[in-house]
Amino acid sequence: MSPGSGTADVNQQARPARYTGERIKRLEDPRLLMGRARFIDDLGVPGMVHAAFVRSPHPHARIVSIDNRAALALDGVVAVVTGADLAAETAEMEVGAMLNGVEATSRPAIAISKVRHVGDPVAVVVARSPYLAEDGRDLVRVEWEPLPPVPDVGTALADGAPLIDEALETNHVAHGKIEIGDPDGQFETAAHVCRKTFKVGRSTGAPVETRGLLAECDAGSGAITLWTSTQMPHLTRTLLAPMLRVPENKLSVHSPEVGGGFGLKCHIFPEDVAVPAVARRIGRPVKWIEDRWENLSGGVHSKEMDCEVEVALDADGKMLAIRGAFVTDGGAYSSIPYTPLIDSGCAAGMLPSMYDVGHVAAQFDAAYTNKASVGAIRGVGWASGQLARETLLDDAARQVGIDPVELRLRNMLSSEPQKNIMGLSLDGGSYAESLAMARDAIGYEEFRRRQDELRAGGRYLGIGFSPFIEPTGMATASARAAGFDIAYFDSATVTVDPDGTATVSTGLHSHGQGHETTLAQVAADALGFAIEDIRVVFGSSDSQSYGMGTYASRSAVVGSGTIMAAAAQVRARLLELAATLLEADARDIDLAHGVAHVKGAPARGVTVAELAGFGYFGYDARPDDVQESGLTATAAYDPPETYANGTTAAVVEVDPALGTVDLQRLVAVEDCGRMLNPFIVDGQVAGAVAQGVGIALLEDLAYGEDGEFLAGSLMHYLYPSTTELPRYDLLHIETPSSASTGGVKGVGEAGTIAAPAAVVNAISDAISPFGVSIDRVPVTPVYLRDLLRGAGR
């Protein structure tokens, strides 16, 4: 996006024929810019008290005793509540087995007998102010009996390892295997075999706004109202109600403005149970705002994976078979609802990605360790698997002596809709086209010339490519295609109000994606209204439009499908109303930008305000279905599989003496089908790419060998700032989905999936004269210096 590229407020420009596809400025921006949006920490209710959690400083320990006397003696402290106190009032937090070979697990919200990671909560202190709650927290005395820590997968899976979850007989909580064709036979006879192990580091979403909760309980009905910084209000209600032992109709979940999610805020956490349960227990509204240390030590982590991948190629560089084994360091608990399989399971399922390969073996495992749980963070295990596969292909290209772009082009599926070897129903794309576009945009041939010249002068530049496909619009079909036995339900309600404006309610959620704008574009087109007459509402489980929330790049697809279906029903009734008023046949009515008229007779029109007034108050002059159903409709949509694709390419310069990497260029070609708003698509890609660069170069939720957590602040857990990132070139191809309503696909995670491998391949290319290749992320200066020192040159 360059400044002044023609994006405009809709009411300051000529009205487009359709709003979807236009670069429309965001309707939600003014309140955010003015500091007038209300985030969770901006809310309060009378009588509210504040919670602080006592947390484990140990990676693994038994709780011998908890002494709350000093805390309770502090003026201003209202209560100290332990796991044992809550056990009588709440149910255990359970996660079912998502697949065969995966353990079902359960846990109390607050640890009762032992803690399993640094940051695991053991008690809640409630006080008049947040400062006093923290004072009280520091006065709670816990007697610990430290247990041997399990700091990594190797320790976890060793014979006789200490058990993290004593209800299970193992730390090996998930195992699965997919084998198609005869990969072993192919590997025996192939002209070339290339192998690689790759270690992906531990990262997370770390939105700038942490999590937070505010809960109150009605003394009469027992109904609980919960405000929470979540990506999924309805699903939170469904998952949380049984844990709180309330029926769903007595739990209202509201999300205020949410300051970024990236997957972190689409889980159910211990605090989500504890804070409302404590509010109910003490009879006062309770608020809790997570601090940054809690967010990093106790939220969900992501992507740490040991990968072993190998590819068999024929003499011409044609891929014959691919094998991969992916082991997730799952942390101490199964995240709810995704479990640690969200990483290794996803890496395995996308192993062949868009390559045309006839034989595949993919194995996925997850082990419990004494770290924070692994959950669904932007890009999930797809990003880890992409790193392993795409760095393997660059190694293979060097080994065989084929250009890495050419190797990929020789092996790509055609862009037509088809089933791939894993059974994914690809809905059409631009696999080779996107790679070629990235190659040309970054000036590949010219770069190679310059690279040689600079190398002669002792400068090490490199280029890397990372073509990808991204499963989007996550719903039942795509989850099942990926092997997860789960189902989804999503709906939207479109209501035309008596004055002819429309309200669209959705079970999706926006925390930066701009749904108030994009979904209004969709609704305006589907109804034939002016966009300023549409209001999009979401964020309350009290709304009748149940939905699973926003994550997994699902909202463009699900939002378009649900809203277009509901709007079509309402529009049909508006056309009948217009037909009645204009004394014409409904099939001959046109309705656009809020005015209906008989086709070919634009002079005589009726406005939607007139139609709506008639629809509400026209008594028995109205058509029957308007009398029966009014001007509102709710529709559900469970989309088919959709897969976005594209290619990210990067240029870096490595300083071998310092081990530093200067990211000089980044080109991202994205094909997310029909774009609802290219302005917002660019923003999604740019932000996701930045997170991908962080994974490649910076982000590391490090633990010591003793299980101590070493990354509890943003000084230790680094993410990219303005100076580590270059200006990106964001390019588009628009191949409409052959499957979804409107040809739409999702876009939220592509950059995070693709960018890490592009950057790492560029680094390996830069240092190829040293005869070594990168085998882990993040590529820190220390790692890179050590790698190059060990290398001969």
Partner 1 sequence: MSETATAGRRLVELNVNGMSHVGLAEPRTLLSDFLRHDLELTGTHVGCEQGVCGACTVLVDGEPVRSCLTFAVQMEGARIETVEALSADGALHPIQEAFRNTHGLQCGFCTPGFLLTAKALLEENPSPSEAEIREHLSGNVCRCTGYQGIVDAVLEAAANGKDQADEPR
Where on the chain is the footprint of partner 1 (CB under 8 A)? 1-4, 7, 25-26, 28-30, 32-39, 41-42, 70, 73-76, 130-132, 135, 139, 205-210, 257-260, 262, 291-292, 511-514, 679-680, 682-683, 686-691, 713-715, 719-723, 725, 727-728, 751
151 or 748: CB nearest ligand FES: 748
Distance from C-alpha of 39 to C-alpha of 680, rounded to nearest angstrom: 22
Judged by CB under 6 A, how many residues of this single chain contact ligand FES?
Answer: 3
β-bridge mates for residue 469, sequence order: 645
Question: Which among 644, 318, 317, 649 is positioned nearest to 466, based on CA atoms?
Answer: 649
How is 584-647 classified by DSSP, letter by letter?
S-GGGEEEETTEEEETT-TTSEEEHHHHHHHHHH-GGGS-HHHHHHTTEEEEE-----EEEEEE
Minimum CB distance to ligand FES, residue 687 (Å): 8
Neighbour count for residue 174 (Cβ, 10 Å)? 25
Residues 461-520 that bind ligand FES (CB under 6 A): 512
Minimum CB distance to partner 1, residue 71 (Å): 10
φ and ψ at 111, to 5 degrees?
Answer: -55, 140
How is 488-503 classified by DSSP, letter by letter?
---EEEEEE-TTS-EE
Distance from C-alpha of 118 to C-alpha of 776, rounded to nearest angstrom: 25
Per-residue binding string, ligand FES, 214-253, x by CB under 6 A, is ----------------------------------------
Contact between 151 and 202 under an 8 Å Cβ cutoff? The reply is no
771: helix, strand or coil: coil
Residue 618 touching ligand FES (CB under 6 A)? no
108 or 259: CB nearest ligand FES: 259
With CB under 6 A as the contact rule, the residue among 33, 34, 208, 456 that binds ligand FES is: 208
Minimum CB distance to partner 1, residue 231 (Å): 11
Question: Which among 420, 403, 385, 399 is positioned nearest to 313, based on CA atoms?
Answer: 399
285: helix, strand or coil: coil
183 or 720: CB nearest partner 1: 720
Distance from C-alpha of 462 to C-alpha of 520, rounded to nearest angstrom: 44
Residues 672-711 that bind ligand FES (CB under 6 A): none
Question: Which among 552, 53, 501 is positioned nearest to 295, based on CA atoms?
Answer: 53
488 or 728: CB nearest partner 1: 728
Minimum CB distance to ligand FES, residue 440 (Å): 32
β-strands 141-146, 251-254: how paired? unpaired
With CB under 6 A as the contact rule, the residue among 76, 242, 260, 417 that binds ligand FES is: 260
The structure tokens listed for 71 are 């805390």
Minimum CB distance to partner 1, residue 442 (Å): 17
* DSSP 8-state class, residue 388: H
Question: Which among 699, 673, 695, 700 is positioned nearest to 752, based on CA atoms?
Answer: 695
259 or 428: CB nearest ligand FES: 259
Distance from C-alpha of 102 to C-alpha of 488, rounded to nearest angstrom: 21
208 or 315: CB nearest ligand FES: 208
193 or 508: CB nearest ligand FES: 508
Minimum CB distance to ligand FES, residue 130 (Å): 14
Distance from C-alpha of 535 to C-alpha of 27, rounded to nearest angstrom: 10
120 or 209: CB nearest ligand FES: 209
Amino acid code (one letter) for 381: G
Per-residue binding string, ligand FES, 162-201, x by CB under 6 A, is ----------------------------------------
Distance from C-alpha of 598 to C-alpha of 304, rounded to nearest angstrom: 61
Contact between 23 and 677 under an 8 Å Cβ cutoff? The reply is yes
372 or 421: CB nearest partner 1: 372
Minimum CB distance to ligand FES, residue 668 (Å): 19
458's contact among partner 1, ligand FES, none, with CB below 5 to 8 A by partner kind, is none
Minimum CB distance to partner 1, residue 288 (Å): 14
Distance from C-alpha of 560 to C-alpha of 743, rounded to nearest angstrom: 9
3 or 790: CB nearest partner 1: 3
500's contact among ligand FES, partner 1, none, with CB below 5 to 8 A by partner kind, is none
The secondary structure element, H or E, covering residue 732 is strand 728-732
Distance from C-alpha of 89 to C-alpha of 660, rounded to nearest angstrom: 54
* DSSP 8-state class, residue 715: T
Minimum CB distance to partner 1, residue 488 (Å): 24
Minimum CB distance to ligand FES, residue 379 (Å): 17
Minimum CB distance to ligand FES, residue 208 (Å): 4
β-strands 319-329, 359-367: how paired? parallel
Taking CB atoms, the residue at the shortest distance from ligand FES is: 208
Q: Which residues sit at the interface with ligand FES, rule CB under 6 A?
A: 208, 260, 512
